Structures are given as C-alpha cells and as structure tokens.
Amino acid sequence: MCAIVGVFGVEKASTVAYYSLFSMQHRGQEATGISVTDGKRLTVYKKRGMVTDVFYQDILDGLRGRCAVGHNRYSTAGSDSVGDAQPVFAKYKLGEISVVHNGNLVNKQEVRQALIDKGAIFQTDMDTENIIHLIAKSEKNSLEDRIKDMLTKIEGAYCLAIQSRKKMFVIRDRFGIRPLSLGRFSDGGYIVASETCAFDLVGAEFIRDVKPGEMLIFEEGKEPTSQMVFENVDYHPCAFEYIYFARPDSIIDGKNVYKMRLQMGKRLAKETPTDIDLVLPVPDSGVAAARGYAEVLGVPFEMGIVRNHYVGRTFIEPTQAIRDLKVKMKLSPIEHLIAGKRVAIIDDSLVRGTTSKQIVRMLKEAGATEVHMRIASPEIKFPCRYGIDTPTREELISTKYTPSEIAKRMGADSLGFLSIEGLKESLGKDRNYSLVSFDGNYFAGGNAESPSCGEI
Ligand code: AMP
C-alpha cells in the first residue's frame, strides 16, 4: 500500500510534497518522509506518524530544493520501526540517492540472500533497501543504466521515484499494478503521485498516467524524457485500488474511483437482491457501493452508522482483541433509523470478518429485525502479493467458510458477494485487472506463500 510523490522543477518542492502526502494520508499512516535535493546534496527527514504530526513549517523550510520525493508508509504487521520509513537514502559510488517505493517485490528474499552472500549488510526489512543495494552494486557507469540493471533483477509490483543530486527517475512496473500519475504546474515543474487527489490539492494539472513499464527522467532545464524499459508490457491495474484503497475523488486509468464503486454496488444489487426496508453503508468504505445498491432496488439509503474519524483503521492492529475494541470505538448505529427495520448493510470487502461481525451485532442490538450483509467485491481467497496488505490465507475468512456459513457465524440473515464476473463488468472489460485476491492468478510472480509487504 503506501503513497509516493515526486516533485521536480518547483520552488519549495518539499512543501508541495507535504501537501501531496497529506492528501494521500489514507494510503499509509504509520510513517512519512521527504527527501530534497538542492543540486549539491540530498536532505532527508522521516519519522513515524501522520503527515501533519511529522512536518512543521521550520522542518519544511529546512528542506530546501527544487526536487522532492516523499512517501507515506502503511503499517504492516511486525514492522513499525522508523528504520522502515522512507525515503531510503544512501551514499554510493556515483553520489547520493533517495528512493521511494509503493508496491511489493515478490522475489525480495532471493535477492536479499544473494546480496547478503556477497557481503551486503542491511539495516531494515524493506524490499526498498534491496533496490538501493542493487543500484549501488551495479557495474554500469551511469545511474540511469544502474537503475535499468536493477530493474532486471526485481519482480513484482512497484512504482518508484529515485532522486539523485540533479535528476529524478520515475518507474512503474511492466504490469502497472499500482497507480501512478503525472501532472504539471502551470508555471513550470512536474509532479508524479500515486493518486490524482494529490494534484487537486496542490493545483497541478493531470497530464496522464505513467505507463506500465515506463521510465520518466526529469532533469533541470530540460523537458522530461520517457522510455519504455520493458519489452513485454502486460497492463494489470489493481482492482482493489478501486474497491477499497484509493480515494473516491481519484482517477485511475481514466476511471473515477467513486463511480466505479457506485457501479459495483449497482451490480451487487442485481446479483444479490433482497427484501429490505433500508440500505446502510459501512462508513466510509461502503458508501458509494451502498448508494448504487439502494438505487437499483429502489430502497431508502441512510447513513445509519456514525463513524468516529479520530480512530485509525481497525484492520491494521496486530491482535484480535484490540481489533474488536477498535471497531466499537469507530462505529456507532443510529437506533432511531434502524429499529424495527429489515436492513442491508454494504461494505466494500470482507477480509477476516472482524468488522462485519461486530456490525451485525451492533445493528441487531439497535433493533434491526433482519440484517443482510452485502459485500461489493468477490470473496477474498488469496493474499495479494502486489502491495495490498492482506493476512495469510488461513486468516482470510472466505478460505475457510462458504458465504452461508460466514453469515451464520456473524449472526447475519444472509451474506452476498459481488461475483468476479460482476466486478470485471463493473470496472470495464477494456483492462485485465489484477484480481489476484479473488482468483489467485499471480501473474507478476510469487504465490500465496510469498512474503507480503513489510515481511522478509
Ligand atoms: P474485516 O473486518 O477483517 O473483514 O476487514 C474488512 C474491512 O477492512 C472492510 O471494512 C474494508 O473496508 C477494510 N479493508 C479491506 N482491505 C483492507 C486492507 N488491506 N487494509 C485495511 N483495511 C482493509
């Protein structure tokens, strides 16, 4: 998961990166960081915490230069040290570099072991550190060639921004799994960001998505250049970005995320209709899909569950007991709307089943006479290895139980999922979306047992 941003040719690039990271806070709340170059040296500031907690005016003022790369880190089980924050900085034969990375490399253990066997030492568990080592150890003469050399050795999902003292390199893997867009400022300068919502906040104009397999090179005084660094490009944008992860106002591959969610909800209603009085979303993740669901069935839609925004996401907490408590802290039903009603409750996805179980209980306690759970994505049966943090197969509730068994365990009157075909049609058949969590097609390498984000 995570967010990256690269800003080039802009005064106070660190401030632009700061606002961009702020708008992409949803992609990672554990740590954040920015690296800048003034043409002579790189300066990095990174820390655990949210963007507004980590950066202050005086810190940004100290990060001087016209090029900045930044990162928001998503919390993954077992890795929460500041050492795992990005950008990752290194001095090497050709000078200094900082790297930010969104995605997950599936061959990180093999690559790391090979590097360790040759004497490399590592400070963190991050696959991003492998990237730095591969660049440093390459025998090519220019950074550009070293980066290309490194790219032949890594597999999986990645969007990278690599900063040297004078240049910025941006690369998207040949499958284009994670999103990455290019924007421009009217008074000069460029920005690349994981999501277009960053452009809206900093006043950049969207130009286009970075192409799968493309490398963009930014250099002061020149127009950016583009080259395709892979011969076999096989575009598979991640469906889960549309389902859950991206912000609803973002546009990925020309498609607005909110509209896609609305479509999924509409299709869900056609596939799993039910006799109900009221449609409720799980806030905020199920809102757009619930609107679509209610519209197709012609049933009232209400924001019948209040979300306390001051609690972090529940999924990311390490133990089951804390996760349960956090659901209650986060969500609270409006009894007045719910009592005596047959309700459908819509969420975007079902992972471990923790949130849903609590919500069903909450709605029944609030007086709902029937609770029908509807999920606007298919059953998650496989861990994603391409950058969406999913637990092991054993922890995924849909690998162990059928929908009706899950409904029973949750105390729901029924449970329905969007079909894989329904998801494909909602997103549009113009693309081969990455559906790995649903169909187990690990097209970019790796398998259900490969290391996930943050692990090694
Ligand atoms: P669970 O309660 O374990 O089934 O998790 C489902 C909830 O977590 C849904 O409300 C989703 O919006 C949310 N969710 C789905 N995938 C993720 C993820 N990778 N990280 C954090 N939250 C997620």
Residue 182 pLDDT exceeds 70:
yes
What is the pLDDT averaged over residues 364-370? 96
Tell me the pLDDT tens digit for each residue of 18-29: 999 999 999 999
Residue 316 pLDDT exceeds 70:
no
* Lowest-confidence segment of 113-127, 155-169, 231-245, 430-444 by average pLDDT: 113-127
* Lowest-confidence segment of 2-6, 178-182, 391-395 by average pLDDT: 391-395
For residue 352 and ligand 1, the question of a CB distance below 6 A is answered with yes
Q: Which domain holds residue 349?
A: 261-429
* Cβ atoms of 331 and 283 closer than 8 Å: yes
Same domain, 265 and 231: no
For residue 274 and ligand 1, the question of a CB distance below 6 A is answered with no
Q: What pLDDT score was predicted for residue 231?
A: 86
Q: What pLDDT score was predicted for residue 315?
A: 54
Query: Residue 437 C-alpha to ligand 1 middle, in angstroms?
Result: 13
Residue 82 pLDDT exceeds 70:
yes
Residue 456 pLDDT exceeds 50:
no
Residue 314 pLDDT exceeds 70:
no
The reply to whether 243 falls in a domain is: no
Q: What pLDDT score was predicted for residue 312?
A: 56
Same domain, 314 and 354: yes
Query: Residue 244 C-alpha to ligand 1 middle, in angstroms?
Result: 8
Same domain, 280 and 403: yes
Same domain, 145 and 180: yes
Query: Residue 390 C-alpha to ligand 1 middle, in angstroms?
Result: 9
Same domain, 205 and 269: no
CATH number at 317 reads 3.40.50.2020
Query: Residue 380 C-alpha to ligand 1 middle, in angstroms?
Result: 11
* Cβ atoms of 267 and 289 closer than 8 Å: no
Q: Whose CA is nearest to atom 9 of ligand 1?
A: 349
For residue 356 and ligand 1, the question of a CB distance below 6 A is answered with yes
Task: Name the active-site residue from 2, 67, 197, 384.
Answer: 2
Same domain, 107 and 184: yes
Q: What pLDDT score was predicted for residue 80?
A: 58
238 catalytic residue (yes or no): no
Residue 454 pLDDT exceeds 90:
no
CATH number at 222 reads 3.60.20.10
Q: State how many domains the chain has.
A: 2
Tell me the pLDDT tens digit for each residue of 325-342: 777 788 999 999 999 999
Query: Residue 315 C-alpha to ligand 1 middle, in angstroms?
Result: 6
Residue 79 pLDDT exceeds 70:
no
For residue 423 and ligand 1, the question of a CB distance below 6 A is answered with no
For residue 89 and ligand 1, the question of a CB distance below 6 A is answered with no
For residue 387 and ligand 1, the question of a CB distance below 6 A is answered with no
Same domain, 217 and 270: no
Tell me the pLDDT tens digit for each residue of 286-303: 999 999 999 999 999 999
Q: What pLDDT score was predicted for residue 389?
A: 79
